[in-house]
C-alpha cells in the first residue's frame, strides 16, 4: 500500500502529503486516525494536532512558522493560516558529536582528473576567456564566435535549421550533426558580465575576487583576460586578488589592455595568436587517477518543492557526509535559506570563531535585506509556495539537509576560497545562479543541484549535476535532469542507498565519462552578486 503521509522528525506537528488526498478521507498515521479536512495536494502539509492562533509550527524538528488563525487537526497549511517564524540564535550552545558514516568501500576509489601544480585536481580542463569590465563584453563575444567555430567546429543550431526550412520550404538541408572538437583534452569557455566599473569600488573588488577564484579553480588550465584600461577593476586589482588566493599560481594568465594596444582588430589578432598557442599547450594535460578527497562539491538547490527536503536534499547530505569522512570537501551556501536552522549549524562549527563569523554574516545579510525594504521571509518563490514551501524557515529547514550532519570546518564570506576539507559554509544569496557562480568561484570542481520544479542552470567551468526530488519531474524534463531520487518518496530506496548511487554517478561525471545535461545544453550561467540586493 502506498504511503500517504510522512513525518520528517519525531518532534514535528505537521506531516507531508506524499499523494493527493481528498477532503473527508480518514488516514491512519502516527498511531492515530486523521480525518482530512480539506483537499491536500501532494507535497503540502497537514496539521497533526489542532493549533490556536500564535501556536508554533514545527517541521524537521525546528520552528518553521506560527499559526495565524485556529487550524483544525487534519487541515492543510497555507500562506493564509501560517506565517514565517524562526528561532532566535545568539551563540553556540553545545558541540554536536558526529559519527562518520562507513566509507570503507570508497577509500580506494578514484576519479580521473586534471592534476594542477598546486595540488588541486580538476574534473574538467578549461581555457577561460573573460573581461575585467563590461566594456569588453563585445570583444569576448567576437572571440567566442571565432574560437567556437574553429576549435569546436560547431554545426548550426537545429532550431536555426528548422526556421530556415520553414522560410524556404526546402527540407533537404537537415544537417543536425554533433560538433567535432579540434582538441580532445581542453574546452574553451567564455564569461561576460555587467560589472567592473560604475557602482561602488567594493563591487569591483568583490568581482575581482570572484574572477580570481575562477582562474584558481582546479577546472581551469589557464585564462585570457581582457581589460579596457580606465575601469574601476584595474588589472592591478585583479592580480592582487589572484595573488591573495594563490601567491605562487603557475597557470598561464594572458592579460590584454585595449587602450594600450590600439585598434580592436590589432588587439584581437594578438589575443587569438597568443591564446591559441597557450590552448595547444594546455591540451597536453591528460586525466590521471585522483582520490575522492580531491573532490570539492558545491551543494545547491533551485526550483525546490515540498519533496526536496525529504528526498533530493537529504541524499546530497548523505553524499556530503561520505565526502567529509573521506577528507573531501563540500560547501553549503544560500544564507537566506539557512534562516531558522542557525542553531544547529552554529553548534556544528568546530571552533567558536567560526560560529561567531557565521552569525555575524547572517545578521549583516539580513539587515541589508531589511534596509532594502525586504526580508528573508520573502525568499520563497511563487513556485516554491505552489508546491508546498509556504515559509522561508520551512524552505530553509529542507534546504539545509544538503549539508548533512558533519562538523562545519570553515565559514567563508563571498569570494573567499575553500582550503579546509570537510563541510564549509559560504555566504551567498539563495538565487540559483548567483549562488552556483559563487561556489565555483570558491573552488568547487563539481556542483550537485537539487530541484523539484526543474531548472536548466549550468556553469561555464564546473559540471552541474541536476538531481530531481520526484520522478514525475525526471520523466517530464529528461533533458535537464541527470539523477532522480523519486524512489525515496515511493519508499523503494533508502537515502543512504540513493547517496551511494549518486556518488557513483559523480565519479563518472568527474572522470569525464558522462556529460551533464546542463553541459549538453551548453548552459553557461554566470551572475556575480551585487551585495545586499538579492535573496
| Domains defined for the chain, CATH in brackets | 5-83 (2.30.130.110), 126-284 (3.40.50), 297-520 (no CATH)
Q: Which run of H or of E encompasses 422?
A: strand 422-426
User: Residue range 249-269: average pLDDT?
Assistant: 96
Distance, in Å, from the CA atom of 351 to the CA atom of 346, rounded to the nearest integer, reads 9
Q: In percent, how much of the chain has pLDDT > 70?
A: 94
Is the confidence at residue 272, as pLDDT, over 60?
yes
Secondary structure of residue 521 in the 3-state scheme: coil
Distance, in Å, from the CA atom of 40 to the CA atom of 194, rounded to the nearest integer, reads 44
User: Residue range 225-251: average pLDDT?
Assistant: 96
The per-residue DSSP string of 277-326 comes to HHHHHHTT---EEEEGGG-EEEEEE-S--TTTTTTHHHHHHHHHHHHHHT
Distance, in Å, from the CA atom of 260 to the CA atom of 468, rounded to the nearest integer, reads 50
User: Residue range 450-470: average pLDDT?
Assistant: 97
Q: By 3-state DSSP, what share of the chain in percent is helix, strand and coil, each rounded to 5?
A: 35, 20, 45
Q: In percent, how much of the chain has pLDDT > 90?
A: 76
| DSSP bridge partners of 332 | 299, 425
- Among 53-57, 163-167, 230-234, the range scoring the smallest mean pLDDT is 163-167
- Identify which of 30-39, 95-104, 467-476 has the greatest average pLDDT: 467-476
Joined together, the cell numbers standing for residue 430 give 539563495
User: Residue range 475-489: average pLDDT?
Assistant: 97
Distance, in Å, from the CA atom of 503 to the CA atom of 417, rounded to the nearest integer, reads 24
User: Residue range 494-515: average pLDDT?
Assistant: 98
What pLDDT digit, counting tens, does each position of 149-168 carry? Answer: 887 766 556 766 766 677 77
Whole-angstrom CA distances from 43 to 21, 135, 163, 183, 388 are: 11, 46, 40, 47, 5
Joined together, the cell numbers standing for residue 334 give 544560500
Give the position of cell 558526529. Answer: 98
What pLDDT digit, counting tens, does each position of 210-226 carry? Answer: 999 999 999 999 999 99
Sequence-separated (6 or more) residues with CB below 8 Å from residue 246: 118, 216
What pLDDT digit, counting tens, does each position of 171-191 carry? Answer: 655 544 445 567 899 999 999
Is the confidence at residue 484, as pLDDT, over 80?
yes
Q: Check residues 367 and 114 and name the one with the higher pLDDT.
A: 114
Amino acid at each position: 500500500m502506498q504511503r500517504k503521509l510522512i513525518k520528517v522528525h519525531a518532534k514535528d506537528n505537521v506531516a507531508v502529503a506524499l499523494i493527493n488526498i481528498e477532503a473527508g478521507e480518514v488516514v491512519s498515521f502516527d498511531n492515530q486516525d486523521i480525518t482530512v479536512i480539506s483537499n491536500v495536494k501532494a507535497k503540502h502539509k497537514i496539521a497533526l494536532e489542532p493549533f490556536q492562533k500564535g501556536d508554533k509550527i514545527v517541521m524537521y524538528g525546528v520552528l518553521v512558522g506560527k499559526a495565524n488563525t485556529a487550524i483544525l487537526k487534519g487541515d492543510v497549511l497555507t500562506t493564509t493560516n501560517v506565517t514565517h517564524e524562526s528561532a532566535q540564535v545568539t551563540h553556540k550552545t553545545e558541540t554536536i558529536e558526529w559519527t562518520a558514516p562507513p566509507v570503507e568501500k570508497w577509500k580506494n576509489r578514484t576519479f580521473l582528473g586534471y592534476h594542477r601544480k598546486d595540488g588541486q585536481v580538476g574534473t574538467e580542463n578549461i581555457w577561460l576567456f573573460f573581461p575585467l569590465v563590461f566594456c569588453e563584453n563585445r570583444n569576448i563575444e567576437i572571440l567566442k564566435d571565432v574560437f567556437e567555430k574553429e576549435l569546436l567546429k560547431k554545426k548550426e543550431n537545429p532550431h536555426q535549421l528548422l526556421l530556415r526550412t520553414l522560410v524556404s520550404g526546402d527540407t533537404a538541408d537537415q544537417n543536425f550533426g554533433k560538433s567535432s572538437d579540434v582538441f580532445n583534452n581542453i574546452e574553451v569557455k567564455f564569461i561576460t558580465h555587467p560589472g567592473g566599473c560604475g557602482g561602488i569600488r567594493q563591487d569591483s573588488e568583490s568581482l575581482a575576487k570572484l574572477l580570481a577564484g575562477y582562474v584558481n579553480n582546479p577546472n581551469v588550465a589557464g585564462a585570457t583576460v581582457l581589460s579596457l584600461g580606465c575601469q574601476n577593476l584595474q588589472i592591478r586589482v585583479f592580480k592582487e586578488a589572484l595573488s591573495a588566493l594563490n601567491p605562487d599560481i603557475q597557470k598561464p594568465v594572458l592579460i590584454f589592455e585595449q587602450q594600450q594596444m590600439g585598434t580592436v582588430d590589432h588587439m584581437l589578432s594578438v589575443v587569438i595568436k597568443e591564446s591559441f598557442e597557450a590552448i595547444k599547450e594546455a591540451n597536453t594535460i591528460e586525466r590521471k587517477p585522483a582520490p575522492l578527497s580531491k573532490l570539492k562539491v558545491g551543494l545547491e538547490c533551485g526550483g525546490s518543492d515540498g519533496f526536496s527536503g525529504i528526498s533530493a536534499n537529504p541524499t546530497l547530505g548523505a553524499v556530503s557526509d561520505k565526502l567529509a569522512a573521506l577528507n573531501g570537501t563540500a560547501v553549503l551556501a544560500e544564507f537566506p535559506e539557512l534562516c531558522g536552522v542557525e542553531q544547529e549549524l552554529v553548534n556544528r562549527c568546530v571552533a567558536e570563531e567560526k560560529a561567531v563569523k557565521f552569525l555575524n554574516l547572517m545578521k549583516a545579510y539580513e539587515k541589508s535585506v531589511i534596509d532594502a525594504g525586504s526580508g528573508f521571509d520573502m525568499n520563497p518563490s511563487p513556485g516554491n509556495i505552489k508546491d508546498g514551501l509556504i515559509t522561508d524557515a520551512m524552505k530553509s529547514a529542507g534546504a539545509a539537509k544538503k549539508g548533512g550532519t558533519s562538523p562545519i570546518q570553515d565559514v567563508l564570506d563571498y569570494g573567499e576560497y575553500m582550503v579546509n576539507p570537510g563541510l564549509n559554509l559560504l555566504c551567498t544569496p539563495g538565487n540559483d545562479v548567483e549562488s552556483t557562480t559563487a561556489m565555483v568561484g570558491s573552488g568547487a570542481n563539481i556542483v550537485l543541484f537539487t530541484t523539484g520544479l526543474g531548472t536548466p542552470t549550468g556553469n561555464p567551468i564546473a559540471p552541474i549535476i541536476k538531481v530531481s526530488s520526484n520522478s514525475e519531474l525526471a520523466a517530464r524534463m529528461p533533458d535537464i535532469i541527470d539523477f532522480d531520487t523519486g524512489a525515496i518518496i515511493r519508499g523503494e530506496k533508502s537515502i543512504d542507498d540513493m547517496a551511494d548511487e549518486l556518488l557513483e554517478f559523480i565519479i563518472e561525471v568527474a572522470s569525464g565519462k558522462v556529460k551533464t545535461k546542463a553541459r549538453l545544453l551548453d548552459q553557461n550561467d554566470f551572475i556575480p552578486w551585487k551585495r545586499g540586493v538579492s535573496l
